[in-house]
Structure 1
Amino acid sequence: MIRLIRKIIFAGVPPDAGNQYNSVIVINALALLTSIFLAVIGSYFYYLTNSAYLIIGVAAECICFATVIWFNSRHIYEFGTLGTVLTHTVFACYFGALLGPAMPEALITAFLLTFLIGSSFSVYKRWGVRIFCLVIAILLFTAIGINSTYVLIKPLELSYDASADIKLICWIAMLVLIGFSTWLLINQNDRSLKEVSRLNREKALYHAEINHELRNTIHTIVTFAQLIDSSKLTAAEQQHLITCLKSSSAQALDIINNGLLLTKIEAGKEEESVESVIELQSFLQDKVNIFNILGNLQQKKIVLTCNVAGSISTDRLALTKIVNNLLTNAIKHSNAGATIGITVTKEDGVLTLKVSNPGTISKSRIARLFEPFESANQSKFDSTGLGLYITHYLVIRLKGKITVNAENNVVLFTVQLPVKDAANITAAEEEKVDFDLTGFNILVIEDDLMNQVALSRTLKDKNATVTVTGSANEGIQLMDQKVPDLIITDLNMPEMLGTDLIAILRKDLRLRNIPVILITGQTADLPANSLSSGTIRLHKPFKVKELYSAVQAQLRC
C-alpha cells in the first residue's frame, strides 16, 4: 500500500529529479488526499441526503483528480496544473450551491484563500498560472455572491441534524486539508533551504578547488615557458616542453570552460548543438596523446582501443568535453602505475565509449556522482567536482545515457550516444587550417595589449594585413579612412561595448556589410537584439584553430 501511495505521489517525477519537481509532488499528494476525503465523506453525505446529484459530483471530482495525476505521469505538467485549479474551483462552486447553508461561504472563502491564492503562489512558479488562479478566485467569489443573493441554484433540503453534521465534517475536512497543504509547503521550503545551504557550502569548496587547480596549472605553464627560453635545452627537449605547455594550456581551458558551462546550466540556458564531421580514430588519439603527457608524469598510461572505422557526425565540442572529463577523472582517481582504458565501438547508430581505471567507489557515492560539486574522492585528489556533472548534462543533451560500475576494483564509465555516419575524412583534412589571408585587411579593436599582440601575430601568420587599435572611437576613424574586410572587436572596452560599435556600423551604409567577430569573456548570454547578422561571437579563452575557423567563415576563404 505504501509503495502504491508513493508511486501515485511521485507520478511523473524522474528518479534523479531535483527541487524543480516539488510542485508536481505537492499537486499529486493533494489530489490523492482530496480524492480519499471525497470518497469517504461523500459516501456519508450521500447516506444523509440520498442525493444522486451529490454522489455524481463526488465521483466526477475524484475522476478529475485522477486525471490530474495521469497528466503529471505523462509529463503533461501544464494540463495537470490547469486541471488542479479548475477542479477545485468548479466543484467548490458546485458543492457550495448544492449544500447551501451546510457549506457556509466562510468555509469556501478559507478554501479560496488557502488553495487558489496562497498555495498557488507557493507551488506554481510561473506568473501566468498565478494570475490565472487569482482571476479564478475572483470569479468564484463573484459567483458565490450572486448565487447567495439570487439563489440561482436551489440547495438540497436538509434536516437540521444532517445540515449540522455536514457543516461540522466540512469544517474538519477543510482544516485537515489546509493543515496538510501547509505542512507540505513548509516541508518543501525547509528542503529548499537545506539544498541552498548545501550548494552554498559546496560552491565555496568548488571556488577553493578551482582556484587551487588554476594556480597549479598556470604555475606549470609559467615554468614550462621559462624553461623553453633556456639555451641549455636540446631541440628535442624544447619540443617536449612545448608539448607539455600545450597540454597544460588545454587543461586550464577545460577548467575554465567547465565553470562557464556550469553558469549556463544553472541559468537554464541550453548550449546550441552544432554537428560536425569527426574522424573518430584520430580525434580520440589526439585526446589520448595529450592526456598521456599528464599520465606519464604520474607513471600512468592510457590505452585506446577504437573499433570504429571512418567518420561520424555529432557535436564535436560536446564530445570533446565528455572525453576530456572522463579521462581527467580516470587519471585523478587511479594510483601510480595504473593503466587507463578507453574503448570505443559503434553499432546501429549508437556510439559506445567506455573509460575504465583501477579503483573503487561505494554505491552511496555512485548515487551522487553526477551531482554538481561531487567527485569520487575530494579529500585525496584535487577536483572541482564539476567534470562528471557536466559530462552527465552533455550526454543527456545529446539524447544519450551514461552509467558507472565499480566491480572487482575497476571503475567503468559507459557512455552511449546516438551518432550519424558521415563521409570519411582524413586526419589531415580534419585538422586542416591551411588558408591564405594575403590581400585581406583586418582591423583588430582590443584594449588589452597582450591580446593585441596575440591576435595580430596569429593573423599575420596567415599573411593578413592587420591594423590594431585599443579604442573603439579610433577604430571608427580608421574605418572612415579605409574600409576593412573584417573587424575583430572585444566586447568590453572603456569607451563603448563591442555590441554598441556593431550597432553603429550597421547604421552606416558604407560599413554595414563588414563581417564582424565579437570576442567576449562574458559568461552571461547577450540580449537577443544585441547581435546582428554578419556577426560571429567567440568566447575567451578560445583556441587558435577556432579563431581561424571564424575568420574563414566570415571571409569565405
Structure 2
Amino acid sequence: MKITGNIFGITLKSIISRIINAGTPGLDENEKQAVISINFTSAVTGLMVFVFGGIIYAMMPLTKILIPVIFEGSSFFAVVYLNGLGKYQQARMGVYLIHCFSAVYFGAILGETIPVELIAAFLFIFLIGSACLVYREKKSRAVFISATIILWLIVYLNHFFQVITPIHFSETALPVISHLCCGGMVILMSIITFSYIKQNDKLFADVEKANTHKTNFLWETSHEIRTPLNGIIGIAQILQSRKSLFLQLEEGSEIMKEIDDLNVAGKTTIDIINNVLDLAKIQAGKFDEIRKTSFDIKDLIQTCISVNSIIARRVGADIILIADEEIPIMRGDEIFLLKIINNLLSNAIKFTAPKSQVRFTLEYTHEGYIVMHFRNSSFLSEEKAAQIFDEYQCERNAFVEGTGLGLYITKKLVTMLGGEISVETEREHTTFSVMIPFEPGDYIPSKDEIHDRENVAGKKILVIEDDLMSQMILAKFLLNEHAEVKSCGSVEEGLEILKEYVPDVIISDRHLPKMSGKELIVWLKDHFIDIPVIIASGDCSKNAMDEMEQVGAAAYIIKPIQHKNLYKILNQCLKKDISLS
C-alpha cells in the first residue's frame, strides 16, 4: 500500500507539473512566468468550477447550471492545451473571455447568492489584475481595463433590470450556494494577490541582485582605474615639487600651468570616481556608517584648501578663509566632513567668475553648531536652486565638468550627520550654508607638535608594489624626501629582503601576486617582527579598511596617493603613533 501511495503521489505530482509548465520550454524567463501563471490560474479555476458547480447542480439540478459549468470548466483546461500547442495569444484572450462569460452569466443567474459589490471586486481585482500580469504593453492593458469597466456596467444594469432572470433558491440551499460562490471568488482574488506579491518579491530580488552586480562592477572598475591614475597623479605631484627648477626656464610659467592642469584633471577624475561610488552605495542602501574620532576642523579645512588651491589658481580665483579664532577640538566623522567641505569648496571654485574671490566662513556657535558658508561670484536661478541638490543636476563650465552628483551626495552626508544644508542666491553671488551639530572631542596634538616630529629623512622604507609605475613613482617621492628606499613587486621578494634589511616602515599594496598585504601583516605578527605596515590600495571600500585595521595595519591610504597625506602618515608611523586613515 505504501509503494502504491508513493507511485500515486509521484504520478500526481508529474501531472500537475506538466499542466503548469505546458508550453514553457524554449521561452525566456518573463514569458515563461506569464504562461505558468495562466496555466496555474486556469487549472485551479477549471477545477473549482467543476467541484463548486457540481455541488450547486446537485442541490439545484437544472440544465442552465449543468451545461454552463461543463462549458466553463472545459474551456479553462482548453486554455492550458492551447498554451501546450504554443498558441499563447489565443490562450490569453481565451482566459479573459471565459471570465467575462462567467461574470455576466453566473453573476445573473446566481444573483441571489452573490452580492453585486463582490462581483465588482472580482472583476476589477481578478480580471484587471490577471490581465496586467500577463500583458506588459500599455495599449493592451488599456483595452482590457476598458472592457472590464463595460462588463461591470452590463452586470450592474442586469442586477437592476434582470434581463437574465436569476434562479430562486430554497432557504436551505441559499446559504450553502452563497458561501460556495463567494468563497470561490475570494480564492481567485487571493491567487492574483499572491501572484503580485510573488512577482514583486522576484522583482525586488532582481533589483537587489542587479544593484549588487553594479556596485561590485563599480568597485572593481574603480580599483583598476585608480592604479594607472596613481601613476599620473604621482608624476604630476613630483613635477609640482620641482616648481623652482621649472620657473628658471624660459617657458617655466607655461610649463607650471600645464602641470597645474594635469593636477586639476587628476583631482577632477578622482572626484568623479568617488561620487559615482558614493551614489552606488546610497542606491544600494549600504552607505558607510558614521565613525566618530576627535579632530581639529581647522586642520581639515586647511587640507581641503591646499588640495583645491591648484584649481583655484588655474581659474584665477582667491580662496579667502574667515574662521573663528577659538574653535574647540570636535568629535565626529572626519571622512564625511572632509567630503562635505571638499565638495562645496571645489564646487564654489569651479563655478566662480574668473579673477574673483571664494569666501569660506567658519563659525562656532555656543548653541552647539558648526556653521560654514561657501560664497562665490556666480548667479543661480531660483528654479535651478530648487533642484540643485537633486541627482545629476550640473552646471557646465568651460574649464571643468562634473557628474551632477557632488551636491546630492553632500546633502546626504550632511543629513546623516544630523545637519542642514541650504543655498541662497543674489544677483552676483551664490552662498551654500551648512550647519552641523558640534560634539566636543578629546585632546589631540596640535599641527605644530606634529610638524616638530621626526621626519622621513634617513629612514629605511620598504615598498612592495606589483605595478612598476606606481612602485617607481612612490620610491622617487621617498628618495626626494631623503629616505633610504628598497622596492620589490611581491611579498615573497619582500620577505627575502627582510632577511638582510630591517626597514623602519613598510608600504605595501593590498592586492599582490600570491601573498597579499594582509598576509604580510599576519606573517610579521606570527614571527614577532614589529614593523609598521602602511597599506596603499585602490580599494576604497569600508570593508577593506576595516579588514586591514583588524589585522593590525598601521594605516590605510587610498590610491591615487596624495604625497602630503603619505608624508603625514609616515611621520605618525615612524613615531609609533598608529592610526588608520
Q: Normalising to structure 1: TM-score of the pair? A: 0.54
1:166 paired to 2:179: yes
1:516 paired to 2:533: yes
Any idea what SS the aligned residue of 1:420 has? coil
Q: 1:288 to 1:467 in 2, by over 3 A?
A: closer
1:360 paired to 2:380: yes
Is the Cα contact below 8 Å between 1:311 and 1:423 reproduced in 2? no
State which drifts further: 308-317 or 351-360: 308-317
Equivalent of residue 309 in structure 1, options 306, 326, 332: 326
**What pairs up with 1:236-315 in 2 under 5 angstroms?**
250-262=267-279, 264-265=281-282, 268-270=286-288, 273-278=291-296, 280=298, 283-284=300-301, 287-288=304-305, 291=308, 294-295=311-312, 297-298=314-315, 300-307=317-324, 309-313=326-330, 314-315=332-333
Q: CA deviation at 1:547?
A: 2.4
Measure the CA separation in 2 of the matches of 1:498 and 1:229. 38
Measure the CA separation in 1 of the matches of 2:238 and 2:494. 37
2:394 aligned residue: 376
Measure the CA separation in 1 of the matches of 2:325 and 2:384. 35
Q: 1:222 to 1:231 in 2, by over 3 A?
A: same
1:542 paired to 2:561: yes
Q: CA deviation at 1:400?
A: 2.1
Instruction: Spell out, residue by residue over 1:319-349, the C-alpha distance to the aligned partner (whole angstroms, 9 max, x if none).
Output: 2221221122233445546654433322222
Any idea what SS the aligned residue of 1:468 has? strand
Any idea what SS the aligned residue of 2:296 has? strand
Instruction: Spell out, residue by residue over 1:61-93, the C-alpha distance to the aligned partner (whole angstroms, 9 max, x if none).
Output: xxxxxxxxxxxxxxxxxxxxxxxxxxxxxxxxx
Instruction: Spell out, residue by residue over 1:350-377, the C-alpha distance to the aligned partner (whole angstroms, 9 max, x if none).
Output: 1122224432245477347343xx1233
Measure the CA separation in 1 of the matches of 2:264 and 2:519. 37
Instruction: Spell out, residue by residue over 1:215-247, the C-alpha distance to the aligned partner (whole angstroms, 9 max, x if none).
Output: 9x9799599769864642599999898878766
**What pairs up with 1:175-254 in 2 under 5 angstroms?**
175-176=188-189, 178-179=191-192, 221=236, 229=246, 231-233=248-250, 250-254=267-271
Q: 1:484 to 1:307 in 2, by over 3 A?
A: closer
Q: 1:469 to 1:485 in 2, by over 3 A?
A: same
Measure the CA separation in 2 of the matches of 1:542 and 1:548. 10
| Greater Rg over alpha carbons, structure | 2
1:327 aligned residue: 345
Measure the CA separation in 2 of the matches of 1:392 and 1:224. 36
Measure the CA separation in 2 of the matches of 1:435 and 1:178. 74
Q: CA RMSD in A?
A: 5.0
Instruction: Spell out, residue by residue over 1:369-400, the C-alpha distance to the aligned partner (whole angstroms, 9 max, x if none).
Output: 343xx123359861122211321232233232
**What pairs up with 1:446-485 in 2 under 5 angstroms?**
446-460=465-479, 464-485=483-504
Measure the CA separation in 1 of the matches of 2:204 and 2:397. 26
Q: 1:169 to 1:258 in 2, by over 3 A?
A: same
Equivalent of residue 510 in structure 2, options 488, 491, 498: 491
Equivalent of residue 346 in structure 1, options 357, 364, 375: 364
Q: CA deviation at 1:452?
A: 3.1
1:413 paired to 2:432: yes
Q: 1:492 to 1:290 in 2, by over 3 A?
A: closer
State which drifts further: 457-466 or 324-333: 457-466
2:464 aligned residue: 445
Q: 1:336 to 1:547 in 2, by over 3 A?
A: closer
5+ residue gaps, structure 2: 1-112, 114-170, 577-581
State which drifts further: 159-168 or 241-250: 241-250
5+ residue gaps, structure 1: 1-101, 103-157
- How many pairs does the alignment contain? 386
Q: 1:307 to 1:452 in 2, by over 3 A?
A: same
Measure the CA separation in 2 of the matches of 1:303 and 1:166. 80
2:135 aligned residue: none
Higher relative contact order (CA 8 A, sep 6+): 2
Any idea what SS the aligned residue of 2:520 has? helix
Q: CA deviation at 1:490?
A: 1.6
Measure the CA separation in 2 of the matches of 1:440 and 1:527. 26
Q: CA deviation at 1:430?
A: 7.4
Give, as a single letter, the amino acid of the residue that structure 1 aligns with 2:395. N
Is the Cα contact below 8 Å between 1:518 and 1:538 reproduced in 2? yes
